[in-house]
Homo-oligomer: A and B are copies of this chain.
Amino acid sequence: MTDDPEEAAEVTPYEVSSKFGSQDDYDRLIDKFGANRLNEDLLDRLRSHSDGELHQFFRRDIICSHRDFAQILDKYEEGDEFYLYTGRAPSGDLHLGHVLPFELTRYLQETFDVKLVVQVPDEEKFLFKDGLTLDDTRRYGIRNIEDILALGFDPDKTDIFFNMDYAGELYPTAVEISRQITFSQVKATMGFENSTNIGSIFYTAMQATPAFLGSVQNDENKHCLVPLAIDQDPHFRLSRDVAPKLGYPKPSILHMKFLPSLQGRGKMSSSKKHTFVGLRDSIEEAKEKIDRAKTGGQVTAAEQREKGANPDDDMVFQLMAYLLVDDDDELNELYEQYASGEILSGELKQICKDYLEDFLVEHQRRREEVKDNIDEYLVSNTDQIDW
């Protein structure tokens, strides 16, 4: 690890630096990627379509940037349909960090009442990681879909596919995209080497395809909005460059910050045990991880009563701010009490654990409700998606 800002900001779809996470890091990354910040005008327009109330992700700058979000609002305000596209590459079970883009997607579907297409690229982690078979990614994919659907998508407007089941529809458009992208470009954008396998090299075309497939299969321009964690942006920077060459509209993007690791800098990550809470963790395990989380408190209780804690550098507070506490007044009050020394880290953890227990119990209840119905959402080569 180093303090070199360039290295600190290193983010590709295949690697996020373990010290990435400060607002400065996001600011540098947004500028490097050439993305745009959300302004008051865009937020006002979104609020007007959302019962006068923005989702906490927008109120708390967790949506860090966008590309052409205005065009989506234009379309909507003109009465034109657009569709949502997001995805999940299965390699393990979902954790709270994965909930963020899907919760954003759920909110957007509810707000705009639009079609959602979810790609489950079961080949991606098979190609990029060692030790995973296609059977493994498939099995995790099914479990991931159960967790995704538990978040509450409209059954009439949500289609999900495994790439291995839907390749007949994906590959022809992926071929068109792939013809416009060189090895030099993916090397630079994705951090590839000459030793990268040729499936990984091609893969970005498969990920980009659903952003165009609504236009391809309708034989007319269908705008697409892609909510994603900002590390996935390189795929869509490439495909946005390709879009005009193929005559399709550029996909619009909303970029989310990563849910911070419970251990401090870096993102919540399944590969580092105490950084994450899994959606299939037991309540006990989940609480234990909160107990071990890095706080912004002082060394002794007495010192903390006197000096207060730093909520901005407290992973327990951050988890509540990012995901668990919707009410701004309540969150602000907690912030004040914690920063002033009125409540200690142990007390904050207890509050967080109560919220987390409610979240997980409710999530697990909903998962049980949907898990036998996932076939109703799944589409394959023989199905037509109504984009």
Copy count, this protein chain: 2
Contacts of A198 in B (CB 8 A): 178, 181-183, 186, 201-202, 204-205
Q: How far is the CB of A378 from chain B (nearest CB, A)?
A: 15
Is A83 on the interface with B (CB-CB < 8 A)?
no
A residues 120-173 in Cβ contact with B at 8 Å: 123, 126-127, 134, 163-172
Stretch at the interface among A45-53, A90-98, A189-197, A294-302: A189-197
- With both chains docked as a complex, state the minimum distance between the C-beta of A183 and any C-beta of chain B, in angstroms: 5
Q: Say whether A187 faces chain B, with CB atoms less than 8 Å apart.
A: yes
The chain B residue sitting closest to A124, CB to CB, is B175
Measured CB to CB, the closest approach of chain B to A77, in angstroms, equals: 36
Task: Tell me if A168 and B381 are in contact (CB < 8 A).
Answer: yes
What are 14 contact pairs spanning A and B, CB under 8 A?
A: A123-B172, A167-B167, A178-B197, A178-B202, A179-B199, A181-B198, A182-B197, A183-B192, A183-B195, A183-B197, A183-B198, A184-B195, A199-B205, A202-B202
A382: interface (CB < 8 Å): yes
Contacts of A71 in B (CB 8 A): none
Q: What residue of chain B has the Cβ atom nearest to residue A167's Cβ?
A: B171
Is A368's CB within 8 Å of the partner chain B?
no
With contacts A201-B198, A202-B198 taken as known, whether A171 is within 8 angstroms of B178 at the C-beta atoms is: no
Residue in B126, B171, B178 whose beta carbon sits within 8 Å of that of A127 in the complex: B178
Q: How far is the CB of A349 from chain B (nearest CB, A)?
A: 43
- Interfacial chain B residues near A27, Cβ < 8 Å: none
| Among A165, A171, A200: residue with most chain B CB under 10 A | A171
B residues near A166, Cβ cutoff 8 Å: 168
Contacts of A200 in B (CB 8 A): 178-179
Instruction: Name the one of B126, B177, B201, B381 contacting A201, with C-beta atoms under 8 angstroms.
Output: B201
Given the complex of chains A and B, what is the CA–CA distance between A82 and B282 in angstroms? 53
Contact at B202–A199, with CB atoms within 8 Å?
yes
Question: Across the interface, do B179 and A201 meet the contact criterion of CB distance under 8 Å?
Answer: no
Contacting pair A196 B182 (CB below 8 A): yes
The complex places the Cα of A202 from the Cα of B171 at a distance, in Å, of 12
A127 to chain B, nearest CB (A): 5
Q: Which of B134, B167, B187, B195 contacts A182 (CB 8 A)?
A: B195
For residue A336, CB closer than 8 A to chain B, the reply is no
Chain B residues near A165 (CB-CB < 8 A) = 168
**Which residues 194-232 in A have Cβ within 8 Å of B in the complex?**
194-202, 204-205
